[in-house]
Amino acid sequence: MTELLPNYLGGQWSLGCGTGSTLLDPVLGTPLVRVDATGLDLDAGFAFARDVGGAALRALSYRERAALLGAAVKVLQANRDAYYEIATANSGTVKNDSAVDIDGGIFTLGTYAKLGESLGERQHLVDADMVRLGKDPLFQSQHVLVPTRGVALLINAFNFPSWGLWEKAAPALLSGVPVIVKPGTATAWLTQRMVQDVVNAGIFPPGALSVVCGSSAGLLDALQPLDVLSFTGSAETARLVRSHSAVAQHSVRVNIEADSLNSAFLLPGEDASSESFGLLVKEVVREMTVKSGQKCTAIRRVFVPETLYDAAAQAIAARLSSISVGNPRNDTVRMGSLVSRAQLQSVREGLQALQSQTDTLYDGANMPLVDADPAVACCVGPTLLGARNADAAAVVHAMEVFGPVATLLPYRSSDHALELIRRGQGSLVASIYGSDPQRLADTALALADSHGRVHSISPDVAASHTGHGNVMPQSRHGGPGRAGGGEELGGLRALGFYHRRSAVQASTSVLNLLRDSDAAPSP
């Protein structure tokens, strides 16, 4: 029998009393550990987090809470080797892909430690200036932001067990709000281990950081009106979250990141010999293959001028042909596996649906694997599809395949390309490639209303841009419409989700005390 990982809730470690789920090595198929949350007293655990963990965090200043984040960073850095081993075994990722998750999560936590330091010894934030409520300034209104007196329930996806944890937990803890994280079951081991290391180091007050692994049954039932819920996952599950009574009846604040048909757009005026064309090709291949395409921000649709369709197909296919797929323990492997057999089946079914309206420009689905048994390993090679009639390929603009799959689409004009991109009905990110600064600026604004982030790549930033799919803590993460309508990160903007805004109406002398009590402007 494999080891059963303990949950941490109510200030104590406890094992589930059910069979639970066995986590497998997605390449070798061997059992690793088990997770289970059966029998946990969720109501008591949530109450402990609110009453004990929340009170202890709120008693600290932003600077003091930032110091706790910094201490957690040191613990995580000291255990990086163990985290890489877990990622290889449980997520099937090559070292560079594990770094995106592990080092990316630690970097994000460290960024919020530094941001919190800048807020000083404050315990609330002020929002803008005082506003007169009459002809004279004797009675005015001042908006303030204070930490919510609830718990932050973080329901995360399987693809980023480290980064998904810390990109949400960091701003919550800095805000003074206790965190209960429910990781995606298939890859929960890394999340559980990171929380265990930080908890055992005694950094945060009891109840400030908790982890529940296994089934999510009952978690939403334990929420109360002043709690907040952050969910990352499929649009289908997001609909269930939004319809739950905690959200629909009790107005629990919810942030959702769901499906996203992200785009790469080569602007008009470029040709196959231009540097911008090469940058697009390179980025498309990187986004198709990093973490085997299992990223919410990965490029799914690639838009090029009609005259460059064939050239782009050939250039992308040529780069994809050098990608070796298989066991991440082999140093020659460039791309590891999907996280599970269920995910492999989902990708295969989605790919078949896309192929009903597209041509296959590069077929990596049945390529030989390195040091991996195709009957066991959850590996699939990258596949580039294409549709010469981009308007007619409706499924391409409606279905996201969460794996190493992208579709090349030609456009007739810039307006036509924008129209096609917007058929994604809201996305996390679009990247645009060109050499004309004015055209890049105009296109960025044209796409801003339907994208949480627009990544503009020109030759002058070829060596310094952070990447289409890399989510930096300084910039907003989230997107409208299909992408869930959520908003995370963005530097100190992330703190707003975990604070309550209230208008204090009082005499100017009273309001000056609120403003002069070392309170910072709002994020």
CA 208 vs CA 162, 218, 449, 488: distances in Å: 18, 20, 36, 20
Question: Can you tell me the distance from the alpha carbon of 428 to that of 476, in angstroms, rounded to the nearest whole number?
Answer: 9
Secondary element (H or E) of residue 476: strand 476-477
1-40 burial, b at 16+ Cβ within 10 Å, e below that, comes to eeebbbbbbbbeebbbeeebbebbbbbbeeebbbbbbeeb
Q: Is 379 a catalytic residue?
A: no
Q: What are the residues whose beta carbons fall under 8 Å from the beta carbon of 95, sequence distance 6 or more?
A: 84, 88, 328
- Residue type present at position 25: D
C-alpha–C-alpha distance, residues 488 and 413, integer Å = 33
Q: Return the half-sphere exposure (C-beta side, CA atoms, 13 A cut-off) of residue 292.
A: 32
The residue with tokens 């990622």 is 87
* Bridge partner residues of 507 (DSSP): 139
What is the 3-class SS of 287-322, one letter each residue?
Answer: HHHHHHHCCCCCEEEEEEEHHHHHHHHHHHHHHHCC
Q: Record the tokens describing residue 395, joined without a space.
A: 């499924």
Q: Are 343 and 402 in contact (CB under 8 A)?
A: yes
User: Is 257 a residue of the active site?
Assistant: yes
| Dist CA 420 CA 424 (whole Å) | 8
Number of Cβ atoms within 10 Å of the Cβ of 245: 11
Catalytic residue among 167, 270, 287, 296: 296
Helix (H) or strand (E) holding 46: helix 42-48
Residue 484 carries which DSSP code?
-
Return d(Cα 351, Cα 295) in angstroms, integer. Answer: 16
Question: How far is CA 153 from its chain centroid?
Answer: 15
CB 163 within 8 A of CB 104: yes
Return phi, psi of residue 384, to 5°: -105, 125
Partners of 432 in the beta sheet?
265, 456
How far is residue 411's CA from residue 433's CA, in Å, rounded to a whole number? 15
The CA distance from 188 to 487, in Å, is: 24
Do 192 and 35 form a contact (C-beta atoms < 8 A)?
A: yes
Instruction: Identify the active-site residue in 167, 213, 257, 287.
Output: 257
Which residues are annotated as catalytic? 257, 296
